[in-house]
Every structure is written in C-alpha cells, then in structure tokens.
C-alpha cells in the first residue's frame, strides 16, 4: 500500500481493484507536470522552480494554493548543494531521499514550513551545514524542526545513541508534533528502500519501526502512513506469510466483485431516495489488515469444525462520506432499517472519538445471502483527520479568538494527552535502557480508554490499565496514599483492570492533621498490577526510598490506659450467666460466637453436665438444637462479670497495606483491651481479613473498640462473627467513623441483637461498602 493523500471521492462506488490501485508517489507523470508547471509559472510571472521540485509543487499547491514556492526552491537548492556528491546505499544521489520524504509530507497536506524543514532535515546531520546557518536562512521554526529530527552521534552516546535520539525527538514533539511527522515520513522512505540494507540491518530497523514508529503513527492518527509501514514491516519480518496474503489479495482482485460493489450501489440508491447526500466507495483492506482478519477466521471453526475460509467481504469495507455530522446518524438509520445489523458490532466514534482524534461510525450488516459487510460512516472532515491525523489540523498557530465549530467535531489541535504523559515519565528515567524499555511497553497498547472519576474528572489511560495506574495518574501523592478503589459503585481491588467508560473513585489513606506523618505507601505487589511507566517508576522510587521494615506489634495497653485484669493459669473463669432450673451448673461461654451482655443467648447441655452458652443466632447452637439437644433458658446476671473480663471475637475487613497489623493492634490496645489471639488470612485481591479475640474490661467497651478499629486506614468493615441475619450492620464509609450509620441503631436491650457498626469514613479516608463476611463455622 502506498500513500495517496487527498484522493478525490467520486460520486460512484468503486471496485476493490479500482480503489486499491493507488499510484506510488514516484509515478506522477513528471514530464506532463513539468510542462504544466513551467507554463503556469510563466503565465503568472513567478520565478521558475527547479525541475526536480515541479512534481512536489503540483502536489503541494493542491492543499496550499498560496504556498511560498520561492522558499521551497531556496531550501531545495541549499539541500542539493549540501548533499552534492553523497550517495545512498542504493547508488542514487542522496538528494533523492529528502525529496521523497518531502513528497510524502506534501501528499499528506503538510504546510510549507514542514516541507522546508523536510528538505533540510539531514543537512545538519550529514553535511557541513550548521543549525545556526539553517536558522539564519529560514528562521527559528525551521531550525527547531531540523534539530528535532537530527540524530545524536554514536561517538558521543555509544550504544545509547538510538534511545537518546528518540528521547530527544519526543521532547521536541511535545512542543511541535511536526517533528515526529517528519520523522515518520523519513522512516517510511527508508523502509521503501530497505531492500538495499544488509539482512541483519533490515530486521533491526523493521523491529524498531514495529515497536516504536508504527505505534507513534497510530497515536498521531496518520493512518495512510501507518498502513504502509505495517505492510513493509510485515514483508520484512514475515516474508512467507506476506507472500501468501498478497497472493490471496491478487486472486480476489482478478475476479469480478460480486458482493461489495453491488451492495455499494444499492446503498447509494437507498440514500439518494431518502435525500441523504453521500459518497459510497469500496475501501479495500491493506495486507496486514487482511492478515488479521484471516487469523480470526482460522481461529474460529465453522459449522463443520474446520477453520473458516476467507470470505469476499473480508477483503474490503464500505466507506460512506457525508457532508454533516447529523447525516452520519441518518445513514446509520437507513443501514439498520434496510439490512440486519449485527449485535455488538456498532461503535460510535463520532460522539466519543478515539484518543488519536479518529471519528467514524462503525457497523456491520448481514445481507440477504448471509454475508456480513462492515460499513464506516464519516464526514469529509472526519475522513481527512482519519487519513492524515494531526497533519489535517494544520500547522500550530498562536492562540487566537475561538472559532465557530460543529459541537460534534471533537478534533483537538492541542498536545495529545498520551504525549503529555509520556513526556512526564521520561524525565524520571535517565537510564537509556530503562527509557527504551518503558517506551516500547507504553506504546505496546494499541488503544486507550477513558475513565471518569466520581468527581467528574476525565482520565485517559492505555487499555489494560488498572486502578493503580489511575491512582498515580491523579498524582504521585494520591497514588502513594491509595488503599483501594471503587469502580462503578462497587468496592474493588487495586489490581482490577479498568474498562472504557468506568466510573472510578480512588480511596486514599487519611493522614492526621498538622502533617509530618507519612502514608503507608505502595507495596512491591503493586508493580505486578501497574501497566503504565509513570506508575511503575513512582512505585519503584518509593520502594527504593523506603526499605521494607518489619511491623512492630504492640499488644499491651497504650500509655496512661489501664491494663485489663489478669488471671492465673488454670483459674476457672466464672461466667455471669444463670441457667434456669440448674443452679450451680458449670457454664461455658462459647468461643465460636463469644456472647457478651446484652446478647440474646441460649444454653445447651454438653458432656460433663456443663452448659454451653451460644448467641441465639449462632449456627453452632442451631446445629446442637437440630441434633436434639434441649435448649435451656439462660440469662445474664446484672453487674456480674468474669474475673478476666468479657471475651469477644471481632472481624476486620480491610484493604491490604503495609503496617496494617501493627496499626490495628495499636488501636485495640489504646482502648485498654487485651488481645487473646489474632488471625490474619492470606490477602485475596488485595483485601485481607483480620480476626481478633479480645478481653473487654466491661461490655460497654465494645462499641468504642469497634469504632476505634474502623478508624484505622484501610479498614472498611468491623463486625462480630455469627451476627443474626438481617441485623448485622457495618462501618464502611461519611460519618467520621465515630457513630453508627444513619438509620442504624445498635440494640443493647434485653433481646440483645448482635452489634456491628456501619457508616462512612471522613472525606480523606475510605468510602464505599462491601458484602458481608461469611459466618464462622467453628464450634467450641
């Protein structure tokens, strides 16, 4: 495939063979163009341009009728004189290379300044001409573009020269995207002549083009250039598969089109009858695009279980070009009314453009014979941008008064968001190897997604990015303080991949007022979930500055707090419970549900004449009753308490983070409560469950203890196991964590419902809720 920018769209549909016969850039009829050019120049009185520039001038004036041809001629003469005597590996004079690169840019519709810089782009690198001389002769704008694409010397940078050259180009592209446009055109011409290179050099150049240049062309939206680069790289790295795919394309073009062309005519007639002005053409796929379709066909067995053969509709798509944005949806309505649309194939890139400014409606319809045809619908302006990307936006100009634009025209000439993010993280990677690895990894994603925060902020992320990446995109401090995320209203792990259109809330650790305290920071496991270089670099930098420390667990009371009463080993613990009809019976408070006043309780006889006391909703007690054990009436003795205090089990659900265990145990001991045992389950998707058995000096200390545990950063739920169904409530998100949630009133009356608190954390802390934990099935 070769570039044919500015191709006029006719009113009649074309066949795949006609649409695919794109003339190479060098076959422009130089003799005819030369005669016409000289006659036009003599008629207008303008000074003639060099003969070698006449084809270029003709192409350039299609897009820019008032172009400064004298400036182009002067740039060409300087480039020709500077490169005189130099040869390319093909044996051609070197000046043919800048001329070919400039022709590519002219066909894309680039401005005169870009073409001047393209003619001179190798002079500073390969000749005695200096950047100062270029600036003096053509101005600082041209000098900046030439400097941006000039390679760094291997003598100065050694093996890092290529990586540092790309870094230099990217930084220059941040101020002027034309730097990268010139580089892409330069690489395209070099790839067209890659056959003159050594085989090893061909493979190396093709791989760099595949990993870096093609993704950059995609992000800049220059589709015609990207497609040709893809085909040449495909032919270089996979010659056999390329030859096989080209053979299929040639065989298809040699036969009459019995599917796409007739359907294009039918659609054109249908749109004409409805009054929609549109041009319908058959747009053939290029080699790599067809190869991808064939791979999908081979991977999807047919009804007979065998790989599917390519279908006629696989070789092309229909392109419908209309005048107005509203006409795009009118065409869509006709398509879906007259033919059967395929579910899941419709994509609206008009209302929601791609990150590279691409806009079109995509759909697929089934024809009468069962064939499926893909259709693209766009306006003329959208077509220009889809083909040539940022080049169609024109040369950068100083900010002026806002111009009237169609509200559905989402093209933005400002710096692309992906480029801004790339420039940010590249500053943090001084090492060339690390920069190159991060660059290729960042460009590996072939698309971006849009995520909206609950506060209304829009985040652009590469496909596959996780909540960790989104947290660091909001700022490095936000990322370091992140302890969880809520996606589409549901609490989720930081490792969760985000999808296009997700609504996100990043949950952060609240720091005490007055500053001075450091956030817990990221854990090494986050690196496995970070997909963007910016997030990975920030995490690695934090981990390097904060070596891992073992948590210091404090299980005693805090200073100034009374210690819980101790008891001697072997001492029988008196239970503050009376069993009706069994005075003096030995009573054991079940450890599975750890009842405390004023819980509703029931007694069950066990071996040895003792009575086990369970909370009424405890599954273990219900099993005893189901096994035929008699349920005994028991009641709490007011004012009576065991010597060692009331033992109770609490469960804390939290988002895993460093030092969580130390903070929770410190919060418990600060309430004057002793810890009997603690159990930490392995994290599941960055969530963790802590279970503590503690001894309370009095039952009234339980609510304050649960509130204190909930205030620990990362804890979103504190509950007691075996809470009665429907009555268990939780703390999880704005009441400040110091009272139950609105409408939830814990019961401490005679019926003794179980107690757990629910609410919302303060704005700096956790927000959101999670499902209730499963009940503990252990028995005494």
Place of tokens 């490792």: 495
Going by C-beta distance under 8 Å and a sequence separation of 6 or more, which residues neighbour residue 115?
A: 56, 60, 72, 75, 102, 105, 106
Instruction: Output Rg (C-alpha) for the chain, integer angstroms.
Output: 36
CA 352 to chain centre: 16
Q: Are the CB atoms for 285 and 315 separated by under 8 Å?
A: yes
Burial status of residue 247 (CB atoms within 10 A of its CB: 0-12, 13-18, 19 or more): exposed
Q: Are the CB atoms for 279 and 320 separated by under 8 Å?
A: yes
Strands (E), 336-388: 340-341, 347-348, 361-366, 372-379
DSSP 591-647: TTT---TTS-EEEEE-GGG-EEEEETT-HHHHHHHHTTPPPBPEEEPTT---TT-EE
CA 726 to chain centre: 40
Phi, psi of 464 (to 5 degrees): 90, -5
d(CA 50, CA 33): 13
d(CA 109, CA 1): 18
pLDDT for position 21: 38
212 DSSP 8-state letter:
I
Q: Which of 488, 507, 562, 460 is nearest to 687 (CA)?
A: 507
Q: Are the CB atoms for 257 and 17 separated by under 8 Å?
A: yes
Q: Are the CB atoms for 494 and 531 separated by under 8 Å?
A: no
The question of whether 476 is a catalytic residue gets the answer no
Catalytic residue among 80, 92, 126, 128: 126
Query: Hey, what are 205's tokens?
Result: 């150049």
Beta bridge partners of 694: 648, 675
d(CA 690, CA 681): 7
Q: Tell me the C-alpha to C-alpha distance, in Å, between residue 20 and each of 108, 252, 318.
A: 18, 12, 13
pLDDT for position 287: 94
d(CA 311, CA 308): 9
d(CA 626, CA 439): 65
Catalytic residue among 4, 125, 162, 241: 125
Give the 3-state secondary structure of residue 284: strand
Mean pLDDT for back-to-back runs of 10 residues, the chain (780 residues): 34 37 42 48 58 91 91 94 91 93 94 94 91 92 92 66 81 85 94 92 92 88 93 94 93 88 94 93 93 82 70 91 93 93 88 83 90 94 91 64 41 52 66 70 68 82 85 87 85 83 84 61 84 82 72 44 42 61 73 76 76 78 77 72 70 82 83 82 80 81 86 85 46 36 30 32 35 35
The question of whether 125 is a catalytic residue gets the answer yes
Beta bridge partners of 365: 341, 373
3-state helix, strand, coil in the chain (%, to 5): 40, 15, 45
pTM: 0.61
């Amino acid at each position: 495939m070769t570039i044919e920018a500015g191709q006029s769209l006719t009113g009649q549909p074309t066949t795949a063979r006609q649409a695919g016969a794109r003339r190479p850039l060098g076959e422009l009829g130089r003799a005819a163009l030369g005669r016409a050019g000289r006659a036009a120049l003599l008629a207008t009185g303008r000074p003639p341009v060099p003969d070698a520039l006449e084809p270029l001038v003709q192409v350039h004036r299609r897009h820019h009728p008032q172009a400064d041809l004298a400036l182009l001629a002067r740039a060409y003469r300087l480039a020709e004189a500077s490169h005189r005597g130099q040869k390319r590996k093909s044996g051609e004079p070197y000046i043919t290379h800048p001329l070919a690169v400039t022709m590519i840019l002219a066909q894309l519709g680039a401005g005169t300044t870009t073409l001047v810089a393209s003619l001179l782009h190798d002079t500073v690198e390969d000749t005695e001409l200096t950047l100062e001389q270029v600036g003096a002769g053509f101005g600082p704008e041209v000098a900046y573009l030439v400097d941006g694409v000039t390679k760094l010397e291997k003598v100065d940078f050694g093996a890092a020269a290529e990586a540092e050259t790309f870094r230099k180009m990217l930084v220059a592209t941040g101020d002027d995207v034309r730097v990268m446009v010139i580089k892409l055109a330069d690489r395209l011409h070099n790839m067209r002549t890659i056959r003159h290179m050594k085989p090893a050099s061909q493979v190396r150049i093709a791989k760099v083009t595949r990993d870096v240049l093609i993704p950059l062309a995609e992000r800049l939206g220059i589709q015609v250039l990207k497609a040709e680069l893809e085909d040449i790289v495909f032919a270089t790295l996979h010659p056999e598969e390329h030859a096989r795919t080209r053979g299929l394309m040639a065989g298809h073009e040699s036969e009459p089109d019995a599917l796409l062309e007739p359907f294009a005519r039918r659609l054109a007639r249908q749109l004409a009858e409805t009054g929609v002005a549109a041009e319908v053409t058959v747009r053939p796929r290029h080699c790599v695009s067809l190869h991808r379709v064939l791979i999908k066909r081979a991977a999807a067995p047919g009804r007979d279980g065998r790989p599917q053969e390519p279908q006629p509709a696989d070789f092309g798509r229909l392109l419908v070009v209309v005048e107005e944005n509203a006409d795009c949806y009118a065409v869509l309505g006709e398509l879906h009314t007259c033919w059967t649309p395929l579910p899941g194939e419709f994509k609206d890139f008009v209302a929601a453009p791609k990150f590279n400014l691409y806009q079109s409606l995509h759909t697929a319809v089934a024809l009468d014979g069962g064939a499926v045809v893909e259709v693209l619908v766009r306006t003329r302006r959208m077509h220009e941008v889809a083909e040539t990307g940022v080049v169609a936006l024109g040369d950068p100009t100083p900010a002026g008064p806002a111009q009237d634009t169609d509200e559905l025209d989402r093209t933005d000439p400002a710096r692309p968001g992906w480029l801004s993010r790339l420039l940010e993280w590249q500053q943090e990677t001084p090492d060339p190897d690390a920069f190159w690895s991060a660059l290729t990894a960042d460009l590996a994603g072939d698309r971006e997604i849009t995520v909206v925060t609950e506060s209304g902020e829009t985040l652009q992320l590469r496909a596959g990015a996780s909540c960790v990446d989104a947290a660091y995109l909001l700022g490095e401090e936000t990322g370091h303080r992140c302890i969880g995320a809520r996606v589409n209203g549901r609490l989720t792990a930081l490792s969760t991949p985000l999808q296009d259109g997700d609504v996100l809330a990043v949950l952060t650790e609240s720091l005490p007022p007055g500053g001075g305290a450091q956030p817990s920071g990221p854990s090494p496991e986050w690196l496995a979930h970070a997909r963007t270089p910016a997030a990975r670099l920030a995490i690695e930098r934090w981990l390097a500055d904060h070596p891992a420390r073992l948590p210091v667990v404090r299980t005693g009371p805090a200073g100034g707090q009374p210690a819980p009463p101790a008891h001697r080993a072997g001492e029988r613990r008196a239970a503050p419970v009376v069993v009706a009809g069994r005075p003096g019976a030995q009573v054991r408070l079940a450890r599975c549900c750890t009842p405390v006043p004023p819980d509703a309780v029931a007694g069950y006889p066990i071996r040895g004449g003792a009575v086990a006391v369970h909370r009424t909703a405890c599954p273990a007690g219900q099993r005893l009753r189901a096994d035929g054990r008699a349920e005994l009436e028991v009641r709490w003795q007011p004012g009576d308490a065991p010597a060692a205090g009331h033992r109770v089990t609490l469960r804390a659900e939290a988002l895993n983070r460093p030092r969580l265990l130390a903070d929770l145990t410190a919060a418990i001991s600060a309430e004057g409560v002793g810890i009997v045992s603690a159990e930490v389950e392995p994290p599941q998707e960055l969530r963790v469950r802590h279970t503590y058995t503690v001894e309370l000096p009095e039952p009234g200390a339980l609510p304050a203890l649960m509130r204190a545990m909930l205030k620990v950063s990362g804890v979103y739920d504190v509950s007691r196991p075996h809470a009665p169904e429907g009555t268990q409530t939780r703390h999880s998100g704005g009441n400040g964590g110091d009272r139950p949630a609105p409408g939830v009133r814990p019961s401490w009356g005679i019926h003794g419902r179980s107690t757990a608190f629910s609410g919302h954390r303060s704005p700096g802390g956790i927000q959101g809720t999670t499902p209730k934990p499963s009940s503990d099935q252990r028995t005494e």
